[in-house]
Every structure is written in C-alpha cells, then in structure tokens.
Amino acid sequence: MVQSYVNDVLIELFESAVMEDGSSLFLDDKSDINYEFEAFNTPATGCWYELHFLPAQPIMAELGRNAMNEWSGIFQINICVLKTIRTITPQFGVQDYVDNAYASIAEVMKRGVIKDRVHITGVGKSSAIDNGDYYAVPISVSWYANLTN
C-alpha cells in the first residue's frame, strides 16, 4: 500500500513535467506513457515514455504500531524513440526532444523537491540503450519517504 502511494505521487510529478499544453515536445494526453502492468501500443509519433519503479526494502525508523519506516528507491523514466524516427517536428530532432524532455523532468523532479512526504534526492540521465527497434534514454529519479506502514 505504501509503495502504491509513493508510485502515485511520483507519477503525478512526472505527468506535471511532460503534460504541457501547446508544445509539440510534450504530451497532449496519457496515451504516450507506458505505465507498468498496463496494456500499451506504440504511438504513431514513435516517441513515448516508459515508467519503472525500483523500490528498496524499507528501513524501520521507529518502534511501535504507528511507527515510521524509511522507504527509498529509484523511479526510472525511459524516453523511448523508434530507430526509424529522425525528426519529431520540422524544428526539432530526436536529440532536441530527449534533451528538452529531460530538462523538463529534471526541473520538476529536482533534488530537494518534496511532494506529499516524498523527497526527491537526485535526478540523472544515462546514455541511450538499444532495445531492438527503439532507443531508450533512462532518467533515474532517486527518492525517499518516511511513512507509516
């Protein structure tokens, strides 16, 4: 239950970073987001996000029935682009798309952000991974939360 709560908070932060009106680099709706354990079809644009949750084991921080535990983990966001895509729009190439998406996510989910008792401790981007017919650029968001069981 606690992990589900944390996942919902992280998804809300992520969606606030990429769901901007009027920008061709961001999403108009949630159909371009591949949520864990939900059916997904590759969008016609050839660009989408994959969300993965990598929680650690909680650490007991207090004693008692309503004691706090420290939860931590990594929220991984993959920016995915089909290999056949060369430009997103006439003005923006794939690298522009990735760079702008990362900048937007990093701004909203930067170190020190606290939302509903979930603390963001860092965000970083890794090199692209070749996943067969598409590339995925992993963004790792480190977090912790002190919550009761």
Cα Rg, the chain, nearest whole Å: 17
3-class DSSP state for residue 13?
helix
CB-based burial label for 74 (10 Å; 0-12, 13-18, 19+):
middle
Distance in angstroms (rounded) separating the CA atoms of residues 21 and 27: 8
pTM of the complete model:
0.87
The two tokens of residue 127 are 């090199």
Q: What is the pLDDT along the chain (149 residues), one digit of tens a residue?
A: 678 999 999 999 998 888 764 454 556 567 889 998 899 998 888 889 999 999 888 888 778 877 888 899 999 999 999 988 876 666 777 888 888 889 989 999 999 999 999 999 999 999 999 999 999 999 999 999 988 87
CA atoms within 13 A on the CB side of 53: 19
